[in-house]
């Protein structure tokens, strides 16, 4: 599947890509029946998208429709989904975004329904490829008010947002890129829930967290924590300005440790909450880092 995007609302190859991502979403159990929707930008003012009331696992290229950035349907025999407004809000705010996937992956959606923020500083791949996952406030799906809920959380490197009480939306430079974010998030949420059953989640030390953020910057990935001086590295606070009713607080999981922002100097404390709880050793972090870099090089 190509990572390139080409102009043209009648590009059959891109329509087939949407159908392929739809099959993956359906086969992974991320979208039941008619749930979810998928889009890709194909021009300055043209977006291909999945239609309303269709199972994403059974779409055909001829089912795909097209809209302009205002949501007006400009091609296709099937009616466009009402939730395309969410996709368009993201694309208009973030010109770097070419594709959007919205669905209801069960483990991640469990956090959305429980209104439980996703813990940070737990898994290396999540720190490097995702970072903090903000939670957009609940709004009835389908309208512009629902689409606008994500706007405060689109700054600096965000590619994944939890839609409170609803599901997830992930986005990126291609359809595969957007879809992979959904898969990573749901796998991570599953790991968190399984770890909770074993007893508790252990957090990285401040040193380990900074090593991962240094790696992320070295690899060329952006992260909101690179731009917010006073945020806690593990405290779900880089998006604090976006929350009108307060930053979501962890209730089901132990609170994350408080480390100073990435732009600030590391703490000189000899002991950390992660070390006290039997956290990962620096050697383990370095080994996993090497695996991540090796995978990126393939």
* Phi, psi angle pair for 143, to nearest 5°: -105, 180
Within a domain: residue 1? no
pLDDT > 60? residue 112: yes
Say if residue 191 is in the same domain as residue 211: no
Of the three residues 149, 175, 198, the one that is the final residue of a domain is: 198
Say if residue 100 is in the same domain as residue 238: no
Give me the mean pLDDT over the 196-218 stretch. Answer: 95
- Tens digit of each residue's pLDDT (9 = 90 or more) over 122-143: 999 999 999 999 999 999 999 9
Of the three residues 134, 168, 198, the one that is the final residue of a domain is: 198
Say if residue 190 is in the same domain as residue 242: no
Say if residue 214 is in the same domain as residue 162: no
- Tens digit of each residue's pLDDT (9 = 90 or more) over 59-111: 999 999 999 999 999 999 999 999 999 999 999 999 999 999 999 999 999 99
Neighbours of 75 (CB within 10 A): 13
pTM: 0.87
- Give the separation between CA 146 and CA 144, rounded to whole angstroms: 5
* Predicted confidence band of residue 270 (pLDDT cuts 50, 70, 90): very low
Residue 3 is predicted with a pLDDT of 45
Residue 205, helix vs strand vs coil: coil
Catalytic residue list contains 229: no
pLDDT > 70? residue 54: yes
* Predicted confidence band of residue 56 (pLDDT cuts 50, 70, 90): very high
The residues, ordered by sequence, that sit 6+ positions from 34 with a Cβ below 8 Å of its Cβ are 52, 53, 54, 55, 56
pLDDT winner (highest mean) among 187-191, 197-201, 244-248:
187-191
Within a domain: residue 129? yes
Say if residue 193 is in the same domain as residue 59: yes
Of the three residues 143, 173, 198, the one that is the final residue of a domain is: 198
Say if residue 235 is in the same domain as residue 100: no
Q: Which domain holds residue 216?
A: 206-297
Report the CATH number that the domain containing residue 108 is assigned in CATH.
3.40.225.10
Within a domain: residue 22? yes
Q: Which of 83, 127, 132, 139 is catalytic?
A: 83
């Amino acid at each position: 599947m190509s990572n390139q995007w080409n102009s043209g609302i009648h590009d059959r190859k891109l329509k087939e890509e949407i159908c392929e991502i739809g099959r993956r979403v359906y086969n992974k159990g991320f979208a039941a029946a008619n749930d979810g929707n998928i889009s890709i930008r194909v021009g300055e003012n043209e977006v291909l998208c999945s239609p309303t009331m269709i199972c994403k696992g059974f779409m055909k290229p001829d089912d795909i429709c097209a809209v302009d950035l205002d949501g007006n349907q400009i091609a296709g025999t099937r009616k466009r989904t009402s939730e395309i407004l969410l996709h368009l809000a993201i694309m208009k705010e973030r010109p770097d975004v070419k594709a959007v996937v919205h669905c209801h992956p069960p483990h991640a959606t469990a956090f959305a329904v429980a209104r439980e923020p996703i813990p940070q500083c737990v898994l290396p791949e999540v720190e490097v490829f995702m970072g903090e996952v903000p939670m957009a406030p609940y709004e009835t799906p389908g309208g512009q008010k629902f689409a606008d809920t994500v706007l405060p959380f689109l700054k600096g490197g965000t590619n994944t947002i939890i839609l409170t009480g609803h599901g997830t939306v992930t986005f990126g430079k291609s359809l595969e890129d957007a879809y992979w974010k959904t898969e990573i998030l749901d796998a991570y949420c599953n790991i968190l829930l399984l770890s909770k059953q074993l007893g508790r989640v252990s957090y990285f030390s401040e040193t380990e967290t900074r090593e991962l953020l240094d790696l992320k910057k070295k690899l060329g990935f952006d992260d909101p924590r690179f731009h917010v001086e006073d945020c806690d590295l593990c405290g779900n606070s880089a998006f604090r300005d976006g929350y009108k009713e307060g930053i979501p607080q962890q209730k089901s999981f132990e609170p994350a440790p408080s480390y100073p922002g990435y732009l600030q100097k590391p703490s000189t404390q000899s002991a950390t909450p992660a070390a006290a709880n039997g956290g990962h050793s620096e050697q383990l972090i370095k080994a996993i880092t090497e695996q991540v870099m090796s995978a990126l090089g393939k």
